[in-house]
């Protein structure tokens, strides 16, 4: 679209600048005056995205290579940040090559391009705007914004919030989650296992702190129940033998109803409640049929935890949720001293925003974000391939070496990337693919550098601490969520059938809003 403004009305320029909001997908570019260079226009695009453009001048020794880096970085960030409307001021002063670059950029990103033409209409638009199809002349910026939003139609692209439910012995009930604890740190939590975790916390904490603790704990339990209901169901888990040495009650009896009394531990399953399966139905334990899905669930569970205590509390709550479905979820015994995702390694929203605004090179930003997210050392991160990142950027699969005695073996760990951090890794992938690299090439190697120097410099710029460097490279060799397994140990106490109760629809909508 072209907005004609031959009188150079100040209101037209002000409306275009007011529309600038990269977080919502609208970008207003104000090109540098008296320049006809495409490279300078690339820097103008990066500046509009909020990137420190002075960093890119030292990315390559060759002048041609520097210009190529600028162009690829501008395209990668624009695509990764989901820009759907690009507004360009002073478009009539741009050179033909500059306009061609902008039109190609909008085409690659699937964005609508609006050019503010502070002059009279051209006689032949095809010569002024090469490579375009239909050109629409609009009267004002407001009309262009309305047309672009109608074309974008964000209501069709939004994804509904996932409802969290609570299982009971009588069926499912809505469980709206309110983040009452927010970013406030939780008090010190018990070091006991999940069977006694909540009861010990009730004895250890006062009423106010226990209430805050219980919100986080119940959220972990409800997320586990929701995941089992939506993705597996109790009957989908393969039968598995119960390993010796687990805490099984010696007195026979039926599985008791779970008491909501916080002072009492969860009931211990008795031996005669194990599933009756024949030897031909037994599978080797631990249960490994769907470990990547289990790792993604655990990673998503703690992805947005602000502190270590939040992560431990949610994990213990999830163990309780699995247990109430007759499934034993095992995690490392000394969870409080473990490293890895959510415990030492985390990528909170504020850190992702800091990287996004302080780092201009997409690969450098992705390397720092991945180091914070996973806690893995630089040697492992340097071997991550481009195709390890899922198509939508939501998960990252990393292969690590596990030493079982003297025989090393490879294990694939799956990490869930929070929605607010996905553009950081997606931009790095686009940056490489625009350079002609293949999906099997390395994703983060250029952002780490020799002896981790580039990674350390990027962390210094963002004033962030990399866990693997701070702990001498000893963290994350095999993080906790890569040492989790499941066994079926009994019949479920919770009923995974959805029941219709008065006010269900209203409560379900409230749950969606609270989760959103």
- What is the reported pLDDT for 363? 95
Q: Give the bridge partners for 485, in sequence order.
A: 330
Please give the DSSP secondary-structure letter assigned to residue 138: E
Lowest-confidence region among 31-45, 333-347, 371-385: 333-347
| % of the chain exceeding 90 in pLDDT | 28
Residue 298: band (very low, low, confident or very high) from pLDDT cuts 50, 70, 90:
confident
Query: What are the angstrom distances between the C-alpha of 454 and each of 42, 58, 120, 359, 430?
Result: 23, 12, 50, 12, 20
Residue 42: band (very low, low, confident or very high) from pLDDT cuts 50, 70, 90:
very high
CA distance 235 to 238: 8
Among 33-37, 61-65, 163-167, 354-358, name the most confident range. 354-358
- What is the reported pLDDT for 305? 79
The angle formed by the CA atoms of residues 268, 273 and 278, to the nearest 5 degrees, is 135
Q: At what angle do helices 291-302 and 308-323 cross, to 10 degrees?
A: 140
CA distance 111 to 114: 10
Residue 411: band (very low, low, confident or very high) from pLDDT cuts 50, 70, 90:
confident
**More confident call, 19 vs 249:** 19
Are 344 and 410 spatial neighbours (Cβ–Cβ below 8 Å)? no
Sign of the CA dihedral running 129, 132, 134, 137:
negative
Residue 255: band (very low, low, confident or very high) from pLDDT cuts 50, 70, 90:
very low
Please give the DSSP secondary-structure letter assigned to residue 442: B
- What is the reported pLDDT for 54? 84
The angle formed by the CA atoms of residues 28, 76 and 55, to the nearest 5 degrees, is 80
The mean pLDDT of the chain is: 76
Please give the DSSP secondary-structure letter assigned to residue 243: P
Q: Domain-by-domain residue ranges, the chain?
A: 2-157, 165-285+490-515, 349-478
Q: List pLDDT tens digits, range 445-460.
A: 999 988 889 999 999 9
Query: What are the angstrom distances between the C-alpha of 315 and each of 2, 94, 99, 183, 302?
Result: 54, 56, 53, 18, 8
Q: List pLDDT tens digits, range 486-516.
A: 777 666 766 655 544 444 344 444 444 444 4
- What is the reported pLDDT for 495? 60
Residue 158 has pLDDT above 50, yes or no: no
- What is the reported pLDDT for 124? 80
Q: Give the bridge partners for 168, in sequence order.
A: 171, 495
Per DSSP, the three-state class of 399 is: strand
Per DSSP, the three-state class of 312 is: helix
**More confident call, 431 vs 169:** 431
- What is the reported pLDDT for 476? 45
CA distance 63 to 23: 32
Domain 2-157 has CATH 3.40.50: yes
CA distance 290 to 195: 25
Q: How many CB atoms lie within 10 A of CB 142?
A: 13
- What is the reported pLDDT for 486? 75
Residue 175 has pLDDT above 50, yes or no: yes
């Amino acid at each position: 679209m072209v907005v004609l403004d031959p009188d150079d009305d100040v209101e037209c320029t002000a409306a275009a600048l007011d529309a600038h909001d990269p977080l919502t997908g609208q970008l207003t570019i104000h090109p540098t005056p008296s320049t006809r260079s495409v490279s300078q226009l690339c820097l103008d695009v990066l500046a509009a995205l909020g990137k420190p453009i002075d960093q890119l001048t030292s990315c390559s020794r060759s002048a041609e290579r520097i210009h190529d880096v600028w162009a690829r970085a501008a395209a990668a960030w624009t695509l990764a940040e989901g820009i759907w409307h690009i507004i360009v001021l002073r478009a009539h002063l741009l050179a033909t090559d500059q306009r061609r670059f902008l039109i190609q950029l909008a085409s690659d990103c699937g964005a609508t391009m609006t050019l503010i033409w502070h002059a009279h209409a051209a006689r032949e638009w095809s010569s002024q705007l090469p490579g375009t199809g239909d050109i629409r002349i609009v009267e004002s910026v407001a009309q262009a914004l309305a047309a672009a939003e109608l074309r974008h139609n964000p209501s069709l692209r939004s994804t509904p919030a996932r409802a969290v439910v609570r299982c009971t012995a009588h069926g499912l009930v809505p469980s709206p989650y309110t983040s009452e604890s927010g970013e406030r740190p939780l008090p010190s939590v018990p070091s006991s296992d999940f069977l006694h975790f909540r009861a010990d916390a009730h004895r250890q904490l006062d009423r106010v702190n226990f209430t805050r603790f219980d919100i986080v704990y119940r959220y972990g339990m409800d997320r586990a129940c929701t995941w089992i209901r939506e993705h597996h169901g109790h009957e989908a888990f393969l039968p598995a033998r119960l390993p010796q040495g687990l805490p099984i009650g010696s007195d026979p009896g039926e599985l008791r109803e779970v008491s909501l009394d916080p002072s009492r531990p969860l009931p211990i399953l008795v031996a005669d409640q194990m599933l009756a399966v024949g030897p031909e139905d037994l599978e080797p334990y631990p249960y490994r049929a769907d470990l990547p899905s289990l790792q993604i669930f655990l990673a998503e569970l703690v992805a947005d935890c602000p502190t270590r205590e939040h992560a431990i509390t949610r994990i213990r709550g999830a163990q309780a949720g699995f247990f109430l479905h007759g499934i034993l979820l095992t995690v490392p015994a000394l969870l409080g001293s473990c490293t890895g995702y959510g415990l030492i390694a985390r990528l909170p929203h504020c850190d992702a925003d800091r990287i996004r605004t302080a780092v201009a090179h997409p690969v450098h930003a992705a390397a720092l974000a991945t180091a914070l997210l996973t806690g893995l050392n630089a040697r492992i991160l340097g071997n991550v391939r481009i195709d390890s990142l899922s198509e939508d950027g939501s998960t990252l699969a990393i292969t690590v070496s596990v030493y079982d005695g003297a025989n090393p073996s490879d294990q694939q760990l799956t990490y869930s990337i929070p929605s607010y951090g996905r553009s950081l890794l997606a931009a790095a992938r686009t940056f490489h693919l625009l350079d002609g690299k293949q999906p099997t090439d390395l994703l983060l190697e250029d952002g780490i550098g020799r002896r981790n120097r580039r990674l350390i410099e990027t962390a210094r710029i963002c004033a962030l601490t990399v866990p693997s460097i701070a702990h001498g490279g000893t963290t994350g060799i095999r993080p906790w969520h890569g040492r989790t397994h499941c066994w079926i140990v009994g019949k479920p106490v919770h009923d995974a059938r959805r029941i219709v109760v008065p006010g269900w629809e209203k409560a379900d909508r409230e749950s969606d809003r609270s989760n959103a």
